[in-house]
Amino acid sequence: MVAEGDEDCKQTLLKIALGSTSKLKIEAVRLAFAHFERPVEIVTVKAKSGIPDQPEGFDVMLYGAQERARAALVTTSGALLGIGLESGTVSIFSDVTQKGKYPSLVRLYFDPAIAVIIDRHGNEYAGFGPGFPIPKWAVEEALGSELGKVVMKRGAKDKNPMAYFSNGKIDRTEILSSAVKMALAEYFNPKRYTYHT
């Protein structure tokens, strides 16, 4: 663990293992560490997530990110941290017939990102990125497949649903990087997360 507020540590090159070879994820991790002014050496590992290509639900996405982080860490000699990134779909729904205080008129679908960081002591740090809205028809078409393939069939230049639905105005790298930043907030500031009486 890097000491909170230690200026010398900010100059130390951190060797990290990323459970992916995706250029988007590599850049997302680099940007997240740069945000905390920490230089990094990123070693990529083609790690399996153990979950479907199109994960559904936070629990499934979290498991996939954990598996990627663990696999990357144990296979990379000298790595201080293992990092796993996962995206998927989640839904929010409120039954309007119950006339609750905060009813939702429709079921809403989102595509957030989850990052998990695991250190050599087995400590885990997790963070979530923004949830990009996904239309119901796309979620349904992605069953048994993945959103990237769905948008490719509709003319997308690559398997990036966020770029497709936002007409190129939202960058998936930013969303992935946000998730890593959230996890790093606890990793780099452990004293603030420790209970004091």
Residue 35's alpha-carbon distances to 18, 39, 42, 58, 168, in angstroms, are 18, 10, 15, 25, 24
Rounded CA separation 174/132 (Å): 12
Give the pair of three-digit tokens for residue 96: 């309007």
Rounded CA separation 13/81 (Å): 12
Q: Which CATH class name applies to 9-190?
A: alpha beta
Rounded CA separation 143/133 (Å): 17
Q: Are 151 and 159 a contacting pair, CB within 8 Å?
A: yes
Give the pair of three-digit tokens for residue 136: 């119901």
pLDDT band at 65 (very low <50, low <70, confident <90, very high): very high
Nearest residue to 130 via CA among 141, 148, 115, 120: 115
Greater confidence (4 vs 19) lies with 19
Write out pLDDT tens, residues 153-188. 999 988 889 999 999 999 889 999 999 999 999 999
Nearest residue to 175 via CA among 110, 138, 135, 128: 128
Give the pair of three-digit tokens for residue 195: 């209970």
Rounded CA separation 22/44 (Å): 9
Domain borders along the chain are 9-190
Identity of the amino acid at 192:
R
Identity of the amino acid at 113:
A
Average pLDDT score over residue span 126-151: 91
Q: Are 87 and 110 a contacting pair, CB within 8 Å?
A: no
Question: Rg of the chain's alpha carbons, rounded to an integer?
Answer: 18
Residue 6 has pLDDT above 60, yes or no: no
Greater confidence (7 vs 49) lies with 49
**E strands, the chain, in order:** 14-18, 40-44, 81-87, 90-92, 108-111, 113-119, 124-128, 132-133
Mean pLDDT of the chain: 89
Rounded CA separation 47/66 (Å): 11
Please tell me the predicted confidence (pLDDT) of residue 93: 73
Which of 78-87, 91-100, 148-157 is predicted with the least confidence, judged by mean pLDDT? 91-100
Cα 60 from chain centre: 12
